[in-house]
Amino acid sequence: MRGQDQQTEGLFSYVSCEARVPPDHPLRAIRAITDEALEVLSPEFEGLYSKVGRPSIPPEKLLRALLLQAFYSIRSERQLMEQMDYNLLFRWFVGLSMDAAIWDVTVFTKNRDRLLRGDVAAKFLAAVVGQARGRDLLSDDHFSVDGTMIEAWASMKSFRPKGGDDDDTSGGGRNSERNFRGEKRSNETHASTTDPDARLFRKGNGQSSQMAYLGHVLMENRNGLVVGAALTHATGTAEREAALALLEDGRHGNRRVTLGADKGYDVAGFIRDLRTRKVTPHIARNDHVTKTGKRRKSSIDGRTTRHAGYAVSLRVRKRIEEIFGWMKTTGVLRKTRHRGKDRVGWMFTLTAAAYNLTRLPKLMAAA
């Protein structure tokens, strides 16, 4: 007999979000790793909040919500709140009951500065990396480093002279047409009025300049996990400077290690700094003929290239592009949705931690 299409609802519901999530859902394993990392950060959260007053939304719930934003490519926090209102999976992961009211979207705006002051994103990444190290999933000897351009939330029209003098009087409001022909612009004389921390930068010859930041990742070579992440101003030396800083924080102890990188890091001063720090530079050789016909000689010589491990590092280091690919597409970081180096850097580090969380369940199961 055909059933009737009637919209009926029970007066009471006794089914929880926990019962709705399948036992083998991938988020279950990710939730367990996340909760363990957040438990490590609990003393840090205690220091960020007052001992008196009205209880706030738990920072653990805020961080789980932001992780969902990266996992499911949700562009804005407003869309994230809409999803949490009716998505039972999201409610379960964050820790909200079936009938709990969702938060106002300004909750993230008000709490982000507090979490940023506590450097919570970097500490959360360190806690996740600590779990991987405890299960012997990380290499303590071999690393790779690279940088990528993150487009800033600022248009080229906002790149104006720092003194405030602007000869463009064409009108048309804030989105008026601008003619840059014949105008010399540089980061020394101009700045964005939308995001002053952004810099005019181009990744290589023949590519267009953009308002951007540079994101940097230090990867261990055993399983391709992120062990360090940082965001800097977009400058020509930022990648090498960030690599040295990430190595200081990411290496375990003072033992000799190797560092793989592309030919952009083949600079004599950088190679010298690595060797001083007991780091063997497994960097791609940058031998080429310049436009003037001169032969550029690589700083990587036979004492490095003669070892079989050099070729292995050059092959494995390419996996770092998988990290950037995930962060820019799934993690929607191709163009940042925040302004200011601190806020953009905070989200970059948290997204790097989210990438590790997507990899760790399978790695832990196979260990």
Flag whether pLDDT at 173 surpasses 80.
no
User: What H or E segment, with its residue span, contains residue 68?
Assistant: helix 59-71
Distance CA 19, CA 277 (A): 53
Question: Is the separation of the CB atoms in 145 and 240 below 8 Å?
Answer: no
The CATH class given to the 139-152+211-338 domain equals alpha beta
Residue 56: predicted pLDDT: 86
Lowest mean pLDDT among 73-77, 184-188, 327-331: 184-188
pTM over 0.75: yes
CB atoms closer than 10 angstroms to residue 3: 5
Q: What would the mean pLDDT of 276-282 be, rounded to a whole number? A: 94
Two tokens at 348?
Answer: 């970059």
Highest mean pLDDT among 102-116, 201-215, 287-301, 333-347: 333-347
From 225, 19, 73, 212, select the one nearest 139 (Cα to Cα). Answer: 225
Q: Indicate the burial class of 61 (C-beta count within 10 angstroms; 0-12, 13-18, 19 or more).
A: middle
pLDDT: which is higher, 157 or 151: 151
Question: Is the separation of the CB atoms in 234 and 201 below 8 Å?
Answer: yes
Flag whether pLDDT at 169 surpasses 60.
no
How would residue 12 be classed by pLDDT, with cut points 50, 70 and 90? Answer: low
Residue 112: predicted pLDDT: 84
How confident is the model over 198-229, as pLDDT tens digits? Answer: 999 988 777 888 999 999 999 999 999 999 99
Strands (E), the chain: 142-151, 159-161, 190-192, 199-201, 210-220, 226-233, 257-261, 279-283, 288-289, 295-296
Percent of the residues in the chain that have a pLDDT greater than 90, as a whole number:
65
Is 304 strand, coil or helix? helix
Residue 356: predicted pLDDT: 98
Domain with CATH 3.90.350.10 in the chain: 139-152+211-338
The answer for residues whose C-beta is within 8 angstroms of residue 253's C-beta and 6 or more apart is 140
